[in-house]
Amino acid sequence: MNMQFRPVNRVRAINWNRVQDDKDLEVWNRLTSNFWLPEKVPLSNDIPSWATLNAEEQKLTIRVFTGLTLLDTIQNGVGSIRLMADVQTPHEEAVLSNISFMEAVHARSYSSIFSTLCLTPDVDDAYRWSEENPFLQQKATLIMQQYDSGDSLKKKVASVFLESFLFYSGFYLPMYWSSRAKLTNTADLIRLIIKDESVHGYYIGYKFQREIERLSEAKRQEIKDFAFDLLLELYDNEARYTEDLYDGVGLAEDVKMFLHYNANKALMNLGYEALFPPEACKVNAAILSALSPNADENHDFFSGSGSSYVIGKAIATEDEDWDF
């Protein structure tokens, strides 16, 4: 028996009462208070609505959800795990473990939708499609290359682009159905996923920004160039993925507006300026309002148009520490 005792690094227990970065605790609280499971959403109420979609619309919907499942699978098993290698604090690792698990919940949710609404052979067809579709495979490859790069900054950039940009060619469709009063329970479930992914993109983008603060100006420029190049490469592929999926129902151009809008938001999560100009980001008002009921209300009091001097009708909350 050849047992060697090497001096090992001391193993440390995580202490949530000594937090180095308050953002870790804030995001942990946010994520855990958002926790949900697909079983809580009454998906079966969408069965009559599903039957009103024609065969092509059903096929599109199943494919879109299969594509989203693939991205969630990557984030669960690879993305968040690879990010753990670079953590600066033990709390960051704990947050990433939460993110990883929720990605598994998201991936699992699409299967709940399928088992509730769809026929097994149709779903099996879509899984086959997902392995053969060159654009879907290409986007997975582009992301995986960065996850395999061993570069902590490139991994974070790829992760934020996946969370805050690549999902949206898929998220468009349930918002579209919901705006037409179809599959509304499914849309409720997707909105839960969107909220989670938004926190993930925000948090990983925040950690990215903390990390580049320590770099020289030249290095910061280098990673910024890398980020914009990767975004454009992903965008080219995403535009083709979108055409491949949505041309048949005539929605591809509308989806692209949504892509531009979300690409800008992904860049903002990294602390960068928007890339696509406002005229390329004119998201269909019905989609925006399916996403956020507040988004379509005109809150541009300045321009004098819209609802103007309407003081909020109801106070949504009362924190006990208000004095008035």
Partner 1 sequence: MGTLVYYSSTSENTHRFVQKLGLASVRLPVDAGSEPPQVDEPFVLVVPTYGGNGGKGTVPKPVILFLNNPANRRLIRGVIAAGNTNFGAAYGAAGEIVSAKCAVPLLYRFEMLGTDEDVANVKQGLERFWTRSH
Asked whether residue 197 is marked as a ligand-binding residue, the answer is yes
**Which of 83, 199, 204, 252 is in the footprint of partner 1 by CB under 8 A?**
199
Q: What character string, x for contact with partner 1 (CB under 8 A) and - otherwise, covers 204-243?
A: --x--x----------------------------------
Q: Is 271 left (phi over 0), alpha (psi -120 to 50) or beta?
A: left
Would residue 241 show up in a list of annotated catalytic residues for this protein?
A: no
Asked whether residue 131 is marked as a ligand-binding residue, the answer is no
Report in angstroms how near the CB of residue 95 gets to partner 1 at its nearest. Answer: 13
Which is nearest to 61 in space by CA: 1, 3, 10, 129? 129
Q: What character string, x for contact with partner 1 (CB under 8 A) and - otherwise, covers 23-62?
A: x--x---x--xx----------------------------
- Pick out residues in 248-307 that bind partner 1 (CB under 8 A): 264-265, 268-269, 271, 273-274, 278, 288, 291-295, 299-303
Helix axis angle for 134-147 and 217-246, nearest 10°, is 160
Asked whether residue 299 is marked as a ligand-binding residue, the answer is no
**Cβ atoms of residues 46 and 117 within 8 Å:** yes
Compute how many residues bind partner 1; rule: CB under 8 A. 51
Instruction: Report d(CA 123, CA 115) in Å as an integer.
Output: 9
Asked whether residue 260 is marked as a ligand-binding residue, the answer is no
Q: Does 321 engage in binding with partner 1 (CB under 8 A)?
A: yes
C-beta closer to partner 1: residue 63 or 265: 265
Report in angstroms how near the CB of residue 244 gets to partner 1 at its nearest. Answer: 25
Q: Is 312 exposed, middle or buried (0-12, 13-18, 19+ CB in 10 A)?
A: exposed
Residue 284's SS3 state is coil
Helix axis angle for 184-213 and 22-33, nearest 10°, is 170
Instruction: Report d(CA 234, CA 145) in Å as an integer.
Output: 12
Rounded (to 5) percent helix, strand, coil in the chain: 70, 0, 30
Report in angstroms how near the CB of residue 266 gets to partner 1 at its nearest. Answer: 10
What tokens were used for 288? Answer: 């925006």
**Cβ atoms of residues 43 and 186 within 8 Å:** yes
Kindly list the residues in this chain that would bind partner 1 in the complex (CB under 8 A): 21-23, 26, 30, 33-34, 191, 194-195, 197-199, 202, 206, 209, 264-265, 268-269, 271, 273-274, 278, 288, 291-295, 299-303, 308-319, 321-324
Binding residues for Fe cation: 72, 103, 106, 163, 197, 200
Residues annotated as part of the active site:
110
